[in-house]
Structure 1
Amino acid sequence: MAPWLMVLEAYAVQALLRTPGFHRIVEKVAKNVHRVRHGLPPEEEGGTSIQQPGQSGFAQHFVDEVKAQIGRTEARQADVHASSTTDEAAERIEREDADAAWEQLKKSTEASGTSKAPKQGFLDGYMDALRTQVKAGRPR
């Protein structure tokens, strides 16, 4: 590839990365990918309904409060507490498993000595090639 074409390409990439329009497009694409993977966020549902999905309405809340004042919700609260404790324990186990896997991976790469230098980007490779060309063309 001709050096002037490589310079032109590097300039075009840098000019594109400097434009705010490019960053807006990338942000929109990332937001749409997130929506496809995780669904529509609750804050973007819109409308005038303040009730969130999965939450009880006013009537259910009123009945719960009346039962609480009567004293019938103690058993139900104990069940909710037990399920939340189980969820917390599962999350803690997942974190511990992830930490253990990370430590094992670090030890295996250190033991095998296969830690590689990070891959160079386009501009790094271009600048290295340009430096070697300039050094080769220089009279000594």
Structure 2
Amino acid sequence: MNMVWLRIFELLRSPAFHRGVRSIHKKVHELQHGKDPASMGGTNIDVPGKGDPSRFLKYYLEELRDQFRGSKR
């Protein structure tokens, strides 16, 4: 019986166990309350990978036109 408690204390002391618990807690919290805006950072407001290609193309072409015209923002 002592070996069981020894293994439990060993597990509770390990950083890997705490990282796993922290990760699971974060996922459950995000599912319940939504993603924390502070964790997205200042420049990651939009969800990466879900950008609109036509929107990118519009801004890209606009930037090219501005460069050829010589106008600066």
Letter in 1 for 2:23: K
The whole-number CA distance in structure 2 between the counterparts of 1:8 and 1:37 is 38
The whole-number CA distance in structure 1 between the counterparts of 2:11 and 2:43 is 40
How far did 1:41 drift?
0.6
Greater helix fraction, Structure 1 or Structure 2 = 1
2:31 maps to 1:36: yes
Residue 3 of structure 2 corresponds to which residue in structure 1?
Answer: 8
Residue 40 of structure 2 corresponds to which residue in structure 1?
Answer: 45
The whole-number CA distance in structure 2 between the counterparts of 1:49 and 1:17 is 35
The whole-number CA distance in structure 1 between the counterparts of 2:36 and 2:30 is 7
RMSD (Å) for aligned C-alpha atoms: 2.0
Q: Name the % identity.
A: 42
TM-score normalised by the chain length of structure 1: 0.29
TM-score normalised by the chain length of structure 2: 0.53
How far did 1:46 drift?
4.2
Gaps of 5+ in 1: 1-5, 51-140
Query: Which of 1 and 2 has higher RCO (CA within 8 Å, sep 6+)?
Result: 1
The whole-number CA distance in structure 1 between the counterparts of 2:44 and 2:25 is 27
2:4 maps to 1:17: no
Gaps of 5+ in 2: 46-73
| Rg larger in structure | 1
SS in 2 for 1:35: helix
The runs of at least 4 consecutive aligned structure 1 residues that moved more than 3 Å come to: none
Indicate how the Cα distance of structure 1 residues 16 and 39 shifts in structure 2: closer, same or farther if over 3 A, else same. same
How far did 1:47 drift?
6.3
The whole-number CA distance in structure 2 between the counterparts of 1:39 and 1:16 is 30
